[in-house]
């Protein structure tokens, strides 16, 4: 059993906790002092030694960042590449699949209905070039990916890619991605998993999930710096991908008209990168590993359920998460108020929340669902008192 998190110690190690009740961790979480110091210390080193020389001095530490991410995901370091964002890794993998011949004309791509805009837009763009089609798999009544509907969509054949979302950015439910991946792989489809909102708040093991590609970001639940992310590519699958944007680190120019791709996931790495923030990512990942993701998930899930209950008890407030399994994202609306009015009211009271609108989630929001929701996302360093501050603001905005 995991040890409980020392919330007081975590708050003391997080400067932002002294100034704001930050319930926007699904957007960008507050960093620890240790992560901040890591980034600043390397920037100083670059100023003292020079950028190339400073990078050479921390080469082993940079390799350690990749190793830490691999430990977090339950894979080998050669299967991980650190990137600038979730979307960067996902896009490189998608276009790598296209250039590698994995998206033949007439092929079918399946997505779930909680797909995020940057991934779906990438699919639309790639499909316009490849000549593939995109089909959205229905959800169950509570919003979860319908596994029976997925099996039915796979049955006719021709599915070349299934793009699956572990946790949607605008709903607090957790999709059964491992079960979905098993169905897809049995049908011969490549599987990409968006773990942008799950890595750092839930245990994520790529061997258990069984996917070919998984992407995530550093700035959200991992509490890393902005401008960081990573992509996992299964070792037995990576040679099917020919990523775009090659340079002297992702490939070797070994002939006038020929190049050789780097081994494993390093073919997704480019020469120019912000070393300081990637070292900061390593510090953040190591902190998450030290706490233990089971303990993190327990604390985050408990806070989120408490907030759902408190908000749902208010007249005029509707909670919209659904799902049989839920996580740290809590979404709601207030009758007679726009989502922006609610978010602004919270911010004026020193509470950070965010808004998810239909343009970011067109397959799920709109119609019988609201066009937008307010999103609150507590992390393990938040307190019940901070949740209460948000509930008080919402109560004041709700109709009487």
| The model's pTM | 0.97
Q: Which two tokens stand for residue 330?
A: 């809590």
Q: Which two tokens stand for residue 116?
A: 């995020």
The pLDDT of residue 51 is above 70? yes
Q: Which are the contacts of 271, defined by CB distance < 8 A and separation ≥ 6? A: 247, 248, 249
- How sure is the predictor about 3, in pLDDT bands with cuts at 50, 70 and 90? confident
* Residue 350 Ramachandran class (φ > 0 left, ψ -120 to 50 alpha, else beta): left
Nearest Cα neighbor of 229 from 119, 112, 96 is: 119
Q: Which two tokens stand for residue 219?
A: 């700035």
Query: pLDDT tens, 59-79?
Result: 999 999 999 999 999 999 999
How many other β-carbons are positioned within 10 Å of the β-carbon of residue 152?
A: 12
Q: How far apart are CA 142 and CA 325, in angstroms?
A: 10
Q: How high is the pLDDT of residue 386?
A: 98
Q: Which are the contacts of 228, defined by CB distance < 8 A and separation ≥ 6? A: 82, 83, 84, 85, 217, 218, 219, 277, 278, 280, 281
Query: pLDDT tens, 273-332?
Result: 999 999 999 999 999 999 999 999 999 999 999 999 999 999 999 999 989 999 999 999
The pLDDT of residue 17 is above 70? yes
Nearest Cα neighbor of 377 from 357, 360, 356, 392 is: 356
* Phi, psi (rounded to 5 degrees) for 179: -65, -40
Nearest Cα neighbor of 278 from 217, 323, 320 is: 217
Q: Which two tokens stand for residue 9?
A: 């110690």
Domains of the chain: 7-30+292-397 (3.90.1150.10), 35-290 (3.40.640.10)
Q: How high is the pLDDT of residue 172?
A: 87
Judge whether 381 and 32 are in contact, CB under 8 Å. Answer: no
- How sure is the predictor about 48, in pLDDT bands with cuts at 50, 70 and 90? very high
For strands 190-194 and 159-165, give the pairing: parallel
The pLDDT of residue 400 is above 80? no
Place of tokens 């061997």: 207
The pLDDT of residue 2 is above 70? no
Q: How far apart are CA 265 and CA 241, in angstroms?
A: 10
Judge whether 42 and 276 are in contact, CB under 8 Å. Answer: yes
Q: Which are the contacts of 348, defined by CB distance < 8 A and separation ≥ 6? A: none
Q: How high is the pLDDT of residue 399?
A: 86
In sequence order, what are the beta bridge partners of 133? 108
SS3 71: helix
Query: pLDDT tens, 172-215?
Result: 899 999 999 999 999 999 999 999 999 999 999 999 999 999 99
How many other β-carbons are positioned within 10 Å of the β-carbon of residue 69?
A: 28
Strand ranges (E), the chain: 21-22, 80-83, 108-111, 133-136, 159-165, 190-194, 213-217, 229-233, 251-255, 258-261, 317-319, 330-334, 351-352, 354-357, 372-376
Q: Which two tokens stand for residue 126?
A: 């790639």
Q: How high is the pLDDT of residue 1?
A: 54
Q: Which are the contacts of 368, defined by CB distance < 8 A and separation ≥ 6? A: none
Percent of the chain with pLDDT over 70: 100
Judge whether 261 and 249 are in contact, CB under 8 Å. Answer: no
- How sure is the predictor about 271, in pLDDT bands with cuts at 50, 70 and 90? very high
Q: Which are the contacts of 376, defined by CB distance < 8 A and separation ≥ 6? A: 23, 24, 307, 329, 330, 331, 332, 353, 390
Q: How far apart are CA 34 and CA 14, in angstroms?
A: 9
Q: Which are the contacts of 326, defined by CB distance < 8 A and separation ≥ 6? A: 172, 173, 174, 301, 304, 305, 308
Percent of the chain with pLDDT over 90: 96
Query: pLDDT tens, 375-395?
Result: 999 999 999 999 999 999 999
Q: How far apart are CA 6 and CA 242, in angstroms?
A: 45
- How sure is the predictor about 120, in pLDDT bands with cuts at 50, 70 and 90? very high
- From first CA to last CA, the distance across the chain in angstroms is 45
Q: How far apart are CA 169 and CA 167, in angstroms?
A: 7
- 11 CB burial (10 A radius; 0-12, 13-18, 19+): middle
How much is the mean pLDDT over the chain?
96
Give mean pLDDT, residues 134-144.
Answer: 96
Give mean pLDDT, residues 152-164.
Answer: 98
């Amino acid at each position: 059993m995991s040890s409980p998190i020392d919330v007081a110690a975590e708050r003391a190690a997080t400067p932002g906790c002294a100034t704001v009740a930050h319930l926007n961790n699904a957007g960008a979480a507050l960093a620890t002092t240790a992560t901040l110091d890591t980034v600043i210390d390397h920037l100083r080193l670059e100023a003292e030694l020079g950028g190339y020389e400073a990078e050479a001095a921390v080469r082993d530490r940079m390799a350690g960042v990749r190793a830490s991410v691999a430990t977090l995901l339950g894979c080998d370091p050669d299967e991980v590449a650190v990137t600038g964002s979730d979307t960067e890794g996902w896009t490189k993998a998608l276009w790598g699949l296209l250039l590698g011949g994995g998206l033949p004309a007439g092929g079918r791509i399946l997505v779930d209905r909680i797909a995020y805009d940057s991934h779906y837009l990438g699919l639309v763009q790639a499909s316009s070039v490849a000549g593939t089609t995109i089909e959205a798999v229905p959800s169950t009544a509570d919003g979860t990916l319908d596994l029976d509907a997925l099996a039915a969509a796979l049955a006719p054949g021709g599915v070349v890619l299934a793009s699956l979302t572990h946790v949607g950015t605008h709903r607090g439910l957790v999709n059964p991605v491992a079960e979905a991946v098993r169905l897809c792989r049995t049908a011969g489809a490549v599987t990409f998993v968006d773990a942008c909102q799950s890595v750092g708040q839930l245990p994520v093991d790529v061997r258990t999930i069984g996917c070919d590609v998984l992407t995530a970001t550093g700035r959200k639940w991992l509490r890393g710096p902005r401008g960081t992310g990573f992509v996992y590519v299964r070792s037995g699958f990576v040679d099917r991908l020919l990523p775009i944007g090659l340079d002297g680190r992702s490939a070797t120019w070994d002939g006038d008209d020929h190049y050789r791709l780097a081994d494993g996931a390093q073919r997704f790495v480019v020469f120019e990168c912000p070393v300081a923030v990637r070292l900061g990512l390593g510090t953040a990942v190591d902190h998450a590993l030290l706490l233990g993701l089971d303990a993190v998930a327990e604390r985050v899930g408990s806070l989120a359920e408490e907030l759902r209950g408190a908000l749902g008890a208010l007249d005029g407030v509707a909670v919209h998460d659904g799902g049989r399994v839920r996580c740290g994202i809590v979404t709601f609306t207030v009758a007679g108020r726009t989502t922006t009015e609610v978010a602004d009211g919270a911010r004026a009271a020193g509470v950070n929340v965010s808004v998810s609108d239909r343009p970011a989630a067109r397959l799920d929001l709109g119609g019988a669902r609201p066009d937008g929701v307010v999103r609150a996302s507590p992390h393990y360093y938040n307190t019940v008192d901070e949740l209460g501050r948000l509930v008080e603001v919402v109560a004041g905005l709700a109709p009487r």
